[in-house]
Amino acid sequence: AQSVTQLDSQVPVFEEAPVELRCNYSSSVSVYLFWYVQYPNQGLQLLLKYLSGSTLVESINGFEAEFNKSQTSFHLRKPSVHISDTAEYFCAVIPTGGGNKLTFGTGTQLKVEL
């Protein structure tokens, strides 16, 4: 079984400041890792994912996440946030062996303030 821990339920930050949203996972098998974002009153949409290769993955809107196998972490970062980044962010994992059950963390609410 897999589990995902997002210790920060809320992260307030000022616009143009850097931010890091933390994600740690536990699994007895290899997993793929995902970050999904949920804007207010919308469904989730994929932000980025790590499947293999370079441990640093990037999204089109400036977020990046780094897979650290030894620390079982997949933290999400952005060097300079914008008001429009205000949303809830979910880290998720899925076994590499197949299936489509995503195991989600409890989410981190990012609130960007002026």
Instruction: List interacting residues with other proteins (CB under 8 A).
Output: 4, 6, 9, 32, 36, 42-46, 49, 51, 90, 94-102, 104-107
Please say whether the beta carbons of 101 and 34 come within 8 A.
no
Q: In the structure encoding, which two tokens stand for residue 63, read together? A: 């977020």
Residue among 16 and 58 whose Cβ is closer to other proteins: 58
CB of 114 to other proteins, least distance (A): 26
Instruction: Indicate if the alpha-carbon torsion angle 109, 105, 73, 56 is positive or negative.
Output: negative
User: What is the sign, positive or negative, of the torsion defined by CA atoms of 105, 3, 6, 47?
Assistant: negative
> Of 45 and 84, which has the nearer Cβ to other proteins?
45
- Least distance in Å: CB of 75 to other proteins? 17
